[in-house]
Structure 1
């Protein structure tokens, strides 16, 4: 199920735009290369021994709860006796996990695929856990229809395969039914409840059989059906270790953004410890969607920091079990069937195609190209046959019925034009076929055609490569247990059992939109939408020399034999374990302790409160003029500034006019344009760093900014008294950041002799005079000390009296900001605090309380953090309440 995304139409090169994400895939490639070097050292092993990447088993793996939409169980209920029968029905996932089942204990959690009456559910659940190690999630019929058939199959599946939501639906007033989303959330919540019923604390350790020493289970969630499950699990128990893997493509951000509930799905996934994809392209699209939809950036090459958590991203291409195919190929039944088919198609080349009858598999594209090939190469008519297996799926859906009809019409048309009484160009098998039959056809075929228009991986390509392995003439294979027919002669039986002799391996024609195309470099890659190219590829596959076919197959077989299903499962589980046991070390700041701050504020008598404006007192806005202070903000500032114990400053990059208009009536100190001009609390006179400052440099810088603004949609220039700023908050985040770096390079060339500096802020680039920063104003405030004239009572040195701070200076400082321009203030206050602590000369003196606070994520010199503006307002509200209470007490 693949995805080969179109290149985004952006001016910057792909390497520049995706440098962070590319570091991730480079690390993955280096790890794979290390494993391959180990494999090359094993070249002396027996040819029949499966080459599996060596993995360590020194650590005892934990129990893993595998959560999938469907359990690998087929359930049937006898209508007469009401007795349930459960049979194993392994799918691709169950087969992939079977290879490491001896090392890891798996417990399955999923929907049973049957509607179980409520009275029978406890008994059914108990039987499934006891007999099959499966725990069912019970869903009623209506929920299944809306969650599975509606949201999963009719919304997510098409969209993830680049089929957008329909622009029009007959008989529907809206293009999207919100009830489907509600059902999806409800189903994910029920899955979470079921998981936690099994999860608890996991099995006891070997050294302690008591329930007091337990190791938590891992929870491995699979596919697009359960994208909300990581979040639902976190809400119920934050201790759960959860990973999620996608078995389909993840679409480009432009396609993904069509989803009405795009944010909610991404937020659900980012609560996982590890998110895995088949290919780097899918991982890159996921990172891009998070950046554009959630407005988050990749914090490290290995994942995303979001909501105070780190979600690791990994690439894990799945494979097959080549040993199973090899053993099946050696069996007498398959060798006999291969010989029979070889006799049937003697003198003809055979092409094989195996697909579900799904619109993403590109069956019509394959048939049209084969028709064109026959039309252009009439000499091949009668000499080549396409065996096309089309496995029916979703036969009750109108779109799939229309596809089946179209395929039947194409097959009939081609056979009608080019077929004869003895010859049919296409043998169309519209049903699933037994594994032995399929392996026999694989081995017989001279070429395999995989023409998916989108496919997550498509393991048909892997199976074909594995089945092309040559067999020795004298290898009788695995003995068959069935007795021979007495009616058949020994001579006839020996003739039938003669192995089919291939003239070298076949060729693989592989769609570039299949995920496996990124790994199988020995294939003939095609664009299935280009019928002419695909027809030429069929001709090339049939006419390759034996030497070239052998070289291509050796390259393909080397990859298929090493990157097996067991290797995929073990790699993911090992990575999952590493992520949980050794989580990435993030520059995580402790959250500002509100209670401690309020206690320090209450006992202090000379307080200094300094805050930034945008992103601190108010939310960031796309246009600066929209970020006006809310009434609650001005009320809090007014209350704090009226307290004679307080000195309050708002230090911002905003213009002087804006600060005067919205905050000028308050008794707070104001600093505009990063400290270029400021005024003291209660004063109306502004002090500037330079009255005759030369601003002629703007004539040089403005044209450069204008050049990039004209070429970057969503950007604008802000002109201030002492600086120029280029804002790209509304631009595409990747393109805007790339343009900002490019602009800085251009400006540095022309500004090398000017006393200016370039500041990369929060989605802005600002040019200002060297030395202008917020710390200049703060330094002056600290030098002058408290300005409100409050005269505290004289300090007491008695043993019963609480400690007091040094007089003639601030004894409480709260400084809050949100971007790089505030870092100078944090550093200045740290230095000031150190000097004040060193100046203490009496054991009863108390050092001033300092709280440097950074709002939001990111590296900073602050000691504390808050997640949002709302949290800061809660702190300020508590401080204001304390000031009001003290004011009433003093009036008494």
Structure 2
């Protein structure tokens, strides 16, 4: 199977397969997405998608024929059964996600079989991506059909650079939280490196949901997930502007324009073009037009609304009911206000050829685009692009993503019929000079922000993000080999390790019992300390009691509470501090926040107080932590203490107690020609900075984000793997003996 460096994934391929007269036929699509993808600068690209024909109806030979034919056209098919299409596409994608993401939560349904099919089909597409992608390919996934797919592909092929673009709105947290599988969908999306939305509001809604549901904060549109940085940003999609301009010069469109001029004469034409969908606000639009005729009877016989509704999901009950409602409303308005010579509304439930649509755009005096909710709405842009000599006015819903790019349009609230009426009246009264002035400004913008440039901009950001992900980060195979060689050939070695988040994954309680070292951790540390001329130091924020009980029987140096306590040769030494005199008033403030914040708790150490909020609802935790930090900072102004925010904590400790001081002391006490220092949070950055100018030192951040460390690994398990690689093969196989002194509770944790 050929491998490709650029992979596009969408629900449908740009080529559809159908059966006619018993034979398979192939029909190419000319949609905007196909245009954008064709403009990408990549010689070896492949497009993955469903070919449009049910797998149940195909023989093995026909499947192979489709694979071979589509390969010639740069496509790779994923075959789906009729049942899978029904449950995944018509079901979860369009009966669950589509209505909910467009704020029609009353229409959404949540059958379990929908979700199960959605998982299966996303898995099939992930398998296909793994099959056709090179080890370092760029993969761009399109739309709400594949919210799980980035994570599934990441599991199968960790080295890929993955982008995702959502072509519909991402709803606010209060709406999104209604999904039973909300967390699974967020985790799936976070498998991507770049997540694109039409407008910034949608990106912010996504980041807000990540913070409130997963407890993952963001900064400048970027968040950290499983050791990677994920960027969420707005990439407003454009249209193929040149295509619409060129169509105006074709014979078919010129003929259609001439016919429209003859048919409508001096009558003002208000145009409406939509796919039949409840998100488009068609009934509300009809009510606004009815109100116009009622409040401005002078327009009777002088204006006409031409409404084109493109058939969509005609087998779905909600869409059937919507069509009936629209057709009954059209009949009622025409019956009430029409005459023998004039009908207020011309309604067409059909798709029209591209040449005719462009002619209608060019002729129409007003374009009425009033969706209740729309990710972007390209009809508004197509109308403006099709205007040349004749003027025209665009009336655009403030609920459409396009409004941000088209401020010259007359903005309306689609739920306010009177505002629509006022906008139509203003448009009909607008001078030709103002119409053309507004159109020209929008055309200049649209001619630059095209669908081709949209695709290129997204892929450029994906490439940049990929480069940034690899700049400081994951140790390459060559770097790992060099590190191991340096370790094994060194005459004296010093290994300095943080504990929580570095050797041991975080747990949801400050209790030492829950975070006790696993047998693997003890095995790794024993293997290191068994090597001659090797010193291992654990430098942690944990208490000396926790560290003493955890590492019984291991000859490691211990530094507890960030260095307030240090143990050399099995003897503890304590720094001199006046922190105890501040404890009472600090504790009083923290107690107040514990009483106000369900799930939070206080950890008291000899030389620090820590407010933990890992079990607090994320949005509440974020606000309370900011408030507590501010209150403590004001309370302790001028004191020799610092207030720090860490991972799910707010900590107060003496200013002079820092891991940097421990590292200086260790490097002086244990002279070494190989120093390895690993940590994961802000306290460990102090250690990395101390070692920046030491040529013998290798610093490793566990996780992602800005760091003074020279290298990084994704998670604690990866660091343990590296430490295991450093040892002679036989040493890592030996299980450490578990000392009898270890308390029974901790012993149970060790054996888990």
TM-score by length of 2: 0.80
Q: Secondary structure at the match of 2:518?
A: helix
User: Offset of 1:367 from its aligned partner?
Assistant: 1.7
Q: What is aligned with 1:556? A: 442
Q: Give 2:84's aligned residue.
A: 143
Say whether residues 1:223 and 2:143 are aligned partners: yes
In the alignment, what sits opposite 2:69? 127
Alignment match of 1:452 (pick from 371, 381, 385):
371
What secondary structure is seen at the aligned counterpart in 2 of 1:587? coil
Question: How far does residue 355 in structure 1 lie from its aligned partner after superposition?
Answer: 0.6
Whether the 8 Å contact between 1:639 and 1:883 is mirrored in structure 2 is: no
Q: 1:155 aligns with which of 84, 96, 102?
A: 96
1:625 is paired with a residue whose SS is coil
* Counterpart in the other structure of 1:188: 125
Q: Would the aligned equivalents of 1:590 and 1:863 in 2 still touch at CA under 8 Å?
A: no
In structure 2, do the counterparts of structure 1 residues 118 and 102 end up closer, same or farther at CA, with 3 Å as the change threshold?
A: same
| C-alpha distance in structure 2 between counterparts of 1:882 and 1:401, whole Å | 71
Cα pair distance change 1:677/1:885, threshold 3 Å: closer
For residues 565 and 255 of structure 1, the distance between their equivalents in structure 2, rounded to whole angstroms, comes to: 30
CA deviation after TM superposition for structure 1 residue 226, in Å: 3.9
Q: Deviations over 1:253-274 (max 9, x none)?
A: 5544544555555555555565
2:278 aligns to what? Answer: 359
Deviation at 1:653, TM superposition (A): 2.5
Report the counterpart of residue 640 of structure 2 in structure 1: 755
CA, structure 1 residues 783+393, in 2 after alignment: closer, same or farther (shift >3 Å)? closer
* Of 287, 292, 296, the match for 1:377: 296
Deviations 1:541-560 (A, max 9, x none): 33334443333222222223
For 2:16 and 2:523, locate their aligned partners in 1 and report how far apart those are by CA, in whole Å: 67
Contact 2:524 2:720 in 1 (8 A): no
Match in the other structure for 1:349 = 268
- Alignment-derived partner of residue 320 in structure 1: 239
Of 698-707 and 422-431, deviating more is 698-707
Check conservation: 1:647, 1:681, Cα contact below 8 A.
no
For 1:871 and 1:240, locate their aligned partners in 2 and report how far apart those are by CA, in whole Å.
18
Distance 1:528 1:629, change over 3 A: same
- Summarize the Cα distance change of 1:871–1:114 in structure 2 as closer, same or farther, 3 Å threshold: closer
SS of corresponding position for 2:445: helix
- Structure 2: any 5+ residue segments left out of the alignment? 738-752
1:857 alignment partner, SS class: coil
**1:517-556 maps to which residues of 2 (within 5 A)?**
517-556=403-442
Query: 354-363 or 852-861: which moved more?
Result: 852-861
CA deviations over 1:742-771 (Å, ceiling 9, x no partner)? 665565555443222233322333222221
| Partner of residue 397 from structure 1, selected from 316, 324, 332 | 316
Give me the whole-angstrom Cα distance separating, in 2, the residues matched to 1:638 and 1:317: 50
Q: Partner of 2:744 in structure 1?
A: none
Which structure has the larger Rg? 1
Match of 1:492 in 2: none
1:515 aligns with 2:401: yes
> What's the counterpart of residue 586 of structure 1?
471
- Return the offset for 1:395: 0.6
Within the candidate set 563, 581, 585, 1:675 is matched to 563
* Corresponding position of 2:34: 94
1:773 is aligned to 2:658: yes
Deviates more, 1:815-824 or 1:400-409: 815-824
Q: 1:122 to 1:413 in 2, by over 3 A?
A: same
CA deviation vs aligned residue, 1:163-208 (integer Å, no higher than 9, x gap):
4486867xxxx55644213322333135426x61xx679xxxxxxx
Q: Report the counterpart of residue 327 of structure 2 in structure 1.
A: 408
Matches within 5 A, 1:295-306: 296=216, 306=225
Number of residues of Structure 1 aligned to a counterpart in Structure 2: 726
- Gaps of at least 5 residues in structure 1 are 1-61, 202-215, 471-501, 786-808, 838-849
- Describe the shift of the 1:771–1:528 C-alpha distance in structure 2 as closer, same or farther (beyond 3 A): same
Show the counterpart of 1:867: 714
Give the deviation of 1:397 after TM superposition. Answer: 0.9
What residue is the counterpart of 2:13 in the other structure?
71
Q: 1:824 to 1:223 in 2, by over 3 A?
A: closer
CA distance in 2, matches of 1:760, 1:443: 59
**TM-aligned CA distance change 1:76 to 1:282, over 3 Å:** same
Give the secondary-structure state (helix, strand or coil) at the position aligned to 2:271.
strand
- Asked if structure 2 preserves the Cα contact closer than 8 Å seen for 1:192 and 1:229, the reply is no
**Aligned-residue CA RMSD in angstroms?**
4.6
Q: Which residue of 2 aligns with 1:83?
A: 23
Secondary structure, in 3 states, of the residue corresponding to 1:624? coil
User: Aligned pair in 2 of structure 1 residues 403, 122: CA closer, same or farther (>3 Å)?
Assistant: same
Provide Cα deviations, 1:380-407, integer angstroms capped at 9, x if missing partner.
4444322111111111111111221222
Greater CA deviation, 370-379 or 603-612? 603-612
Report if the CA contact (8 A) 1:719-1:725 is conserved. yes
Task: Write out aligned runs for 1:846-861 (5 A).
Answer: 853-861=700-708
Decide which of 94, 108, 113 is 2:52's aligned counterpart: 113
Question: Could you give the per-residue CA deviations for residues 377-433 of structure 1, whole angstroms, max 9, x where no partner exists?
Answer: 344444432211111111111111122122223223333333333333222111112
